[in-house]
Amino acid sequence: MSFEGRDILSTEDMNKEDILEIMAVTARMEDLFRTQHVSDLLADKMVAVIFLEPSTRTRLSFETAIKRLGAKSITVADAKTSSAAKGETLADTARTIEGYVDCIVVRQPMLGGAKVMADAVSIPVINGGDGPGQHPTQALLDLYTIQNEKGGLEGHKVAMVGDLKYGRTVHSLSYALAPFAPEEYIFCAPDALQMPDQIVANMKEKGITCRKTDKIEEALQADVLYMTRIQKERFDDPAEYERLKGSYILTRDILEKGNREITIMHPLPRVDEISTDVDALPNAAYFRQAHNGVFLRMALLAMVMGRA
């Protein structure tokens, strides 16, 4: 099925064929980026980049991707400066912007908010993070990274560590990797921040072995270690955050106890969950991962606007 006109809201509704197509276009975009720097593939297109929550990588890599493909962007990078602050609904915002541009990229705090916008308009909407819900473009760039670092997507033992309750990246990643027969998912979190039951049940239904633990030593036996930040902004009770922050801190010393071939990933930003002495290890992939975000987002933009 063509991606032209399609919304990218979640990885839950993506099948293996979709994902492999996205990986293939991403590789082509990486080549294009390295040889041509700025192409004119989307020279006649304009994209609205609406970020009503903090962001560095997602917004700037989308902006980079837009400009590398020759398109133009209009941007809201601060919720306080948009009419959301006056109480405008997401649907009304979307219907307005639909008249200005060819595609909307949005990050906002409400679970399901990107879908509300997508349902209100006929141009493609790309979800750049809907509160504690999903972050599909992150998961897809994570897959591209795993493919590059490990030589393929099939059959990995993947540990996700940290805030699995509120962390939208791990929700999207669980679904995105599921078609590639993972050997096991190790969900490592304090009890209060474990992976939502509904996602675990869904993975088990797909035949994936899932293990819940609160011990990082178990996670270190995986071949991909996906660290995450405790999502401070999602806690109702600041005392609860204080209790749980710093639950897991990855250091070189701790890594010595685990699989030496482990690929270390993180969507970033990190707070303190990966010590900076880990950065120089050849298997510390998180900055390469962040760079891959540009190629992946170039691919998605080109695909949904029918130019891939």
Q: Tell me which residues in 147-166 interact with ligand NCD (CB under 6 A).
A: none
- Cis-peptide, bond into residue 124, ω within 30° of zero: no
Closer residue to ligand NCD (CB): 45 or 267: 267
170 lies in the site for ligand NCD, by CB under 6 A: no
Closest by CA position to 200, among listed 236, 160, 250: 160
CB of 171 to ligand NCD, least distance (A): 10
Distance from C-alpha of 68 to C-alpha of 45, rounded to nearest angstrom:
12
Phi-psi region of 21 (alpha: psi -120 to 50; beta: other; left: phi over 0): alpha
Question: According to CB under 6 A, which one of 6, 114, 267, 284 is a site residue for ligand NCD?
Answer: 267
- Record the tokens describing residue 157, joined without a space: 């033992």
Distances (CA, A) of 262 to 145, 180, 208, 215: 13, 18, 20, 17
Task: Tell me the CA end-to-end span of the chain in Å, nearest whole number.
Answer: 13
Q: Which of residues 93 and 289 has its CB atom nearest to ligand NCD in the complex? A: 289
Nearest Cα residue to 195 out of 221, 220, 219: 219
Round to whole Å and give the CA distance between 82 and 80. 6
Residue with Cβ nearer ligand NCD (41 or 131):
131
Q: C-beta of 58: minimal distance to ligand NCD in Å? A: 4
Q: Which one among 6, 45, 168, 171 touches ligand NCD, defined by CB under 6 A?
A: 168
- How many angstroms separate the CA atoms of 224 and 266, rounded? 11
Cα separation, 175 vs 122, in Å, equals 26
By C-beta, is 14 or 227 nearer to ligand NCD? 227
32 CB-side CA count, 13 A: 21
| Per-residue binding letters, 189-228, with ligand NCD (x by CB under 6 A) | ---------------------------------------x
Catalytic residues, by residue number, are: 57-58, 86, 107, 135
Nearest distance, CB of residue 94 and ligand NCD, angstroms: 21
Asked if 229 is part of the footprint of ligand NCD (rule: CB under 6 A), the reply reads yes
Which pair of structure tokens corresponds to residue 161? 């560590």
Applying CB under 6 A, does 297 fall inside the site for ligand NCD? no
Size of interface with ligand NCD, in residues (CB under 6 A): 11
3-state secondary structure of 152: coil
What is the 3-state secondary structure of 107-131?
EECCCCHHHHHHHHCCCCEEEEEEC
- DSSP-derived letter for residue 274 is B
What is the number of alpha carbons within 13 Å of residue 113 lying toward its C-beta?
26
Which residue, 152 or 246, is less far from ligand NCD as judged by CB? 246
Q: Is residue 173 part of the contact set for ligand NCD (CB under 6 A)?
A: no
- Contact positions with ligand NCD (CB under 6 A) in 103-142: 129, 135, 138
CB of 230 to ligand NCD, least distance (A): 9
Q: By CB under 6 A, name the one of 20, 23, 39, 57 that touches ligand NCD.
A: 57
Least distance to ligand NCD, CB of residue 105, Å: 12
Assess 268 for contact with ligand NCD (CB under 6 A): yes
**Which residues here bind ligand NCD, judged by CB under 6 A?**
57-58, 129, 135, 138, 168-169, 228-229, 267-268
